[in-house]
Chain A
Amino acid sequence: MSGVANNRGSNSDRLWMYATMVKSRHFEALIKPAYFEGKSPVFNMAKGPLPGEMHLSDGQEPCAVGVCAHLGIADTVTATHRPHHIAIAKGVDLDAMAAEIFGKASGLSGGRGGHMHLFDAAVNFACSGIIAQGLGPAVGAALAAKLRGEPHVAVAFLGEGAANQGAFHEALNLAAVWRVPAVFVIEDNAYGISVAKRDCTAVASNATRAAAYAMPGHHVPGNDPDAVHAVAGEAIARARRGEGPSLIEIETIRLEGHFMGDAEGYRPDGEVARLREADPIPRYRASLLADGVSAATLDTAESEARAAVESAFARARAAAYPLPEEAFAHVFA
């Protein structure tokens, strides 16, 4: 899908963004009950079909779809510990992704990585569970495209907390010095686990940090897919033209806790209710309806998205676990 000159994407882009947000949200919706299987009445993270930490992306979908609408298979994306919405928007195989999260043999890595370490080479998607550590590899992937003379870009997603990591500053400087086609996308959900951005970040807007690395810095308020789409389109087109990297900061919301089981005692009273009212998916549906997209079209897109997720989860649950001794495979190529 190509970038657009006006402030709003094509109708096909907009419908794709809506359907993809619904698909992502439904993915997380199916994870929730599955995650708590075996974890009640006593919460034990090791129990049930989905052991370990689980970071859900509810509310942050506009960041993923507004950016990935401009990306093709050959473009690289590196994501974070909260990767599902980005993976889905990048086109990661939904069945293999669900199977991976359930630890099954048919998962992306056969169960070796799990939810924070999703790799799909077919669509050039990777993520790391360590804060800001996807940025270096994205610079490398962007350099690879530049050295080959190919018009591909690499996009690194990060949270606002990651902008306080040294890796962020090193990677932005390196990308600018080497003028590689990289775009850095900050999903600012206002919290690093429990610590509010205002309590740990010296600047009000991380977009201003782009000035330190002589690259454009964009601030996108409103958690609106169309606004993200417009800004990302400009930054990605610039990168494809060989004009270097950009930084995009998107004000988004995290509707769930940092991880499942998070009591969220750090949020002020009433914040969760306010965030729920700001849920971007119903707002975007209303926007599309107001622009003349029919309810039937949206309903069909929603149904298809949900059906794909339900099929992926059914296959994942039915799939076989790997043999334990398969743990020893793939340490080395």
Chain B
Amino acid sequence: MSSPETLAPPVAAPAGGSRRLTIARAMAEAIGQAMERDPAVIVMGEDIARLGGVFGTTTGLLDRFGPERVRDTPISETAFIGAAVGLAGAGFKPVVELMFVDFFGVCMDAIYNLAAKQCYFSGGQVTCPMVLMTSVGGGYGDAGQHSQCLYATFGHLPGLKVVIPSNAADAKGLMLAAIRDPNPVIFMYHKALQGMGWLGTVKRSIVDVPAGDHVIPLDRARVVRAGRDLTIVSLGVGVHHALDAAEELAAEGIAAEVIDLIAIAPLDRATVRASVGRTGRLLVVDDDYLSYGVGAEVIASVCEDAGVALRARPRRIAHPDIPVPFTPVMEHHVLPDAGKVLAAARTIMTEKNA
């Protein structure tokens, strides 16, 4: 069938060259560059100063910017995320870290009732320019309180922008864009892509990153591999599962198009619809819980569009509706992977009609 084509990452002409970085390094670099440029940017969170972030998101910032602007907090997410809302309302641009997204249970009011509604309840008088960066995902045996994704939980709530990079260049571009955005942005980074030495990392996430200023939109999905037979939509680590599966499918003569959502709020429905309009087949892959999830939203968005003619029933792969189990034989049984994507894609391709 068609010859698969892997699209180059949409990196603008690199100013000052580029280097291969992990997502962790790219995030820290972006935050540091934002802090150099704008004294209103400050960083707060647990273990983000001396330690540089458990997941390396703030490495080196304390030495460069000092303890007034790089603040280790008590283990008090409600207080310091609430304080970030107050700082943002007072003209600062706080970047705060919620170490694991699983910890949102102890501080969600500050996120969805304060940060997300400050602009609305003030009729636009008071904005909330803050970034909440938080690690997501499992696959390394950390069990159900440290392995969740919760994309849909955050994507469901109005007033929040939600992004998740699948590679280091996007991580830098999204972080710089998020810090400049006048709204609260939830910046989710996937532990399987983070590039920490002690945590396995998908090598494809380590890419050339522009050294200079680099911003990408907070509301645009991207076709990362072109193909005419089937559209596979994913985000974060799922993009890599999809790309791995697409290579296998190519060997079988099936040209899969892979879309990296990059953002789930707002969701770039147009890019997905355009792709499925070409392929007529849709598979959504995400590692959040299945029900009411990203897959459901993407599939509904396509089905609602009368202009998209489907040639097979859309399918979704996600984590089933159970807590993330600890023992690896169970966890890998339920987590999406390239093999599951491949199997679902083959099923879709063998269906004759929607």
Contact = CB atoms under 8 A, between A and B. Distances in A.
Contacts of B296: none
Contacts of B85: 136-137, 140
A330 B123 contact: yes
Q: Which of B68, B81, B109, B128 is packed against the most chain A CB atoms within 10 Å? A: B109
B115 to A, nearest CB: 10
Contacts of B83: 136-137, 139-140, 143, 171, 174
A213 to B, nearest CB: 11
Contacts of A331: 119-120, 158-159
A133 B82 contact: yes
A121 interface: yes
Interface in B103-156: 106, 109-110, 113-114, 117-129
B107 to A, nearest CB: 9
Interface stretch (A11-19, A81-89, A105-113): A105-113
Contacts of A171: 76, 78-79, 82-83
A243 B91 CA distance: 24
A138 interface: yes
Contacts of A290: none
A141 B120 CA distance: 19
Given A128-B113, A331-B158, A173 B89 contact: no
B123 A113 contact: yes
Contacts, number: 148
Contact of A119 (B84, B110, B113, B122): B122
A150 to B, nearest CB: 10
Given A112-B121, A130-B109, A166 B114 contact: no
A109 B120 contact: yes
A139 B79 contact: yes
B232 to A, nearest CB: 30
A121 B68 CA distance: 26
Contact of A332 (B90, B106, B119): B119
Nearest to B130: A140
Given A136-B85, A144-B90, A144-B91, A170 B79 contact: yes
A130 B85 CA distance: 15
B338 interface: no
Contact of B126 (A119, A140, A178): A119
A128 B87 CA distance: 16
A119 B82 contact: no
Interface string B290-329: 0000000000000000000000000000000000000000
Contacts of B124: 109, 329-330, 333
B123 A136 contact: no
Contact of B123 (A108, A141, A147, A174): A108
B80 interface: yes
A141 B128 CA distance: 13
Interface residues of B, number: 46
Contacts of B117: 117
B86 A76 contact: yes
A237 interface: no
A309 interface: no
Nearest to A112: B120
B86 A167 contact: no
A135 interface: yes
B42 interface: yes
Contacts of B74: 170, 173-174, 177
A135 B91 contact: no
A154 interface: yes
Contacts of A141: 86-87, 89-90
Contacts of B120: 109, 112-113, 330-331
A140 B121 contact: no
B271 interface: no
Given A140-B90, A143-B83, A173-B79, A130 B183 contact: no
B90 A76 contact: yes
Given A133-B110, A147-B42, A170-B79, A112 B89 contact: no
Interface string A165-188: 011001101100110000000000
Nearest to B79: A170
Interface string A94-113: 00000000000001111011
A126 interface: yes
A40 to B, nearest CB: 30
Given A119-B121, A140-B87, A133 B114 contact: yes
A136 B79 contact: yes
Given A174-B80, A331-B158, A110 B86 contact: no
Contacts of A136: 78-83, 85-86, 110, 114
Given A119-B123, A136-B110, A174-B79, 15 more contacts: A78-B86, A112-B120, A119-B126, A121-B125, A126-B122, A136-B82, A136-B86, A137-B89, A137-B114, A140-B84, A330-B124, A331-B120, A332-B161, A332-B182, A333-B119
20 contacts: A107-B123, A109-B125, A113-B120, A126-B89, A126-B126, A136-B79, A136-B81, A138-B86, A139-B79, A139-B83, A140-B86, A140-B90, A141-B87, A154-B86, A171-B79, A331-B158, A331-B159, A333-B119, A333-B127, A333-B128
Interface of A: 76, 78, 107-110, 112-113, 117, 119-121, 126, 128, 130, 133, 135-145, 147, 154, 166-167, 170-171, 173-174, 177-178, 329-333
Interface of B: 42, 68-69, 71, 73-74, 76, 78-92, 94, 106, 109-110, 113-114, 117-129, 158-159, 161, 182-183
